[in-house]
Amino acid sequence: MTETQEKVPIPQATGPKALGFWMCTALVVGNMIGSGVFMLPASLAPYGWNAVFGWLVTIAGGLALAFVFAGLSREFPKAGGPYAYTQEAFGPLVGFMVAWSYWISLWVGNAAIATGAVSYLSVIFPAIAKVPGMHLLVTLGAVWTMVGINIAGARLAGGVQVVTTVLKLLPLVAVAGLAFWIIGRGPSAPGGVSLTPFRPADIHPGAITAAATLTLWALLGLESATVPAGKVVDPTRTIPRATLAGTVFTGLIYLLVCSAVVLLTPVDALKTSNAPLSDFVGRWWGPAAGQLLALFAAISAFGALNGWVLLQGEMPYAMARGGVFPAFLAKESKRGTPARAHLMSAGFLTVLVAMNYAKSMAEVFTFIALLATTASLFTYLACALAALKLQAARRITPTLALTVIAVLAGLYAVFTLVGAGKEAVLWGIALLAVGAPFYWLTRGRGSGAKEGTHTHPAA
C-alpha cells in the first residue's frame, strides 16, 4: 500500500453513549429546522408554484442523501461521519479535505443560524437591531451559551435538543393549521385571500432550479446523527433509522409550511419581510400572535445552534483522533466531551461574527449561508461517490438500491452546485485549497492514534 493510500485510524470515542434514537432523531430534525424554514419564504416569494416544485426536488435529493448516509453509517458506525466514510473510500487526503470543508461549514453555518435567531429576537426586542453593537453581543452570548451546554455533556445537549425540537414544531403546526383554515374559507376569508392559482405556463425549469438551490440551506443537517457516532447507543441501528425518519419528517414540514406561506401571501408583502412566518401569523391573528411566533422562531434557531455546536466540536475531535489535527484536540473532558475542540471551533466562529458585525443581519445571514451551503455540497458529493467506491471495492455489500440512490444523490449534489452559481463554487474551492497545505504539513505525524492519547508533534 502506498503512502497516499495508507489509512489513518479513526478510533471510537471513549465517552458515555448518551444518545439514543429519539435524541438522534431530534438532532437531525432540530439541526434541519433552524432559521431556514422561518426565513426562506421571503426568498422564495418571487417563484410562486415553482418554489413548491423546488421543494420537491430538494426533498427527493435530501432523501437520496439520507439513504446514502444511512447505508454508510450501518457499515461504518464511526465518529466523524463524512470524514470516516470518505477516508475509508479514498484515503486520508480526500478524507481530510472533506472533513476540513465540512468542519468549516459547521462553524460558518453556526454564524448564520445565530444571526437568524437574533434577527427574530429583534422583532420582540427592537433594541437589538437599533442599538449599535447589540446584535453582536446577543449573538455571541447565544453562541457561547450553547458551547457551555455541549461542554457540560452530551446528555444535557441531547436533552436541550429534544425540548427545543418540540417547541419549534408548535409554531409550524400553528402556521399549517392557519393555512388550512384560509384555504378552506377561500375568498370568504378576511381580506378575500385565496391560494395562488396554478398555471402551467408559469412553471419554468430555471425557476425550479433556483428555488431548489435556495431550499437546500434549510435541509442541511440530515447527516447530523452520523458525526457523534461514538456517543450513540447501538449506532448501526440507531443512526440509519434516525437519519431517514428525521429527513422524511422535516421534508414534509418544510413542504407544507413554506409552500402555504408563499402561496397565501402577496409577493410584494412577502419578499420584503424580515420575519415572514411571524408576519403571516400576525396578519391573521394580530401583532401579539406574530410576536409570539417570533419568540418560537428564535427558540427554533437556538435549538438548531445547540445541535450544530455539538457537531462543530465532534468533527475536529474525530480528526485529531485520526491523526490529522493537533493531538491536544483529541482529549476529552471529565464529562466525556471534546471541550478543547469546542473552544477552538467557537473561537473561529466568534472571529467570523465579529468581522461581519457592521453589516446588517440580513446581509450576514445571506453571505454566511451561501458559504456553508457550498462547503456542505462538496461533502455530500464526496459521500455519494464513497458509497459507490466502497461497493465496487467490496468493502461493503453491494446492493442495487444503494448503487442507484448513490448515483442519484451524486447527481443531485452536482445539480445543486450548478444552481448555486460560479461565486458559490469558487468559495467552496477556496475553502478546500486553504486546507491542502495544512494536510501536507501534518500527514504522517502521529497517525497511530490510540484510545484517549495521541503522539502528534503539534501537541
Strands annotated E in 181-329: none
**pLDDT, tens digit (0-9, with 9 covering 90-100), for 213-245:** 778 877 887 887 777 767 788 888 888 888 899
Number of neighbours of residue 12 by Cβ within 10 angstroms: 16
Terminal Cα-to-Cα distance of the chain (whole angstroms): 28
Distance CA 79, CA 100 (A): 15
Q: How confident is the model at residue 401 (pLDDT cuts 50, 70, 90)?
A: very high
Q: How confident is the model at residue 163 (pLDDT cuts 50, 70, 90)?
A: confident
Please report the pLDDT score of residue 274 as a whole number.
Answer: 66
Give the chain's mean pLDDT: 79
301 in Cβ contact with 32 (< 8 Å): no
Q: Kindly tell me if the per-residue pLDDT of 284 is higher than 70.
A: yes
Which class is 19-441 in CATH?
mainly alpha
Q: Which helix (H) or strand (E) holds 426?
A: helix 422-442
pLDDT above 70 as % of the chain: 84
pTM of the model: 0.75
Number of neighbours of residue 177 by Cβ within 10 angstroms: 10
Distance CA 68, CA 89 (A): 14
Buried b (16+ CB within 10 A) or exposed e, 235-272: beebbbbbbbbbbebbbebbbbbbbbbbbbbeeeebee
| Domain map (residue ranges) of the chain | 19-441
Distance CA 318, CA 329 (A): 9
Number of neighbours of residue 336 by Cβ within 10 angstroms: 18
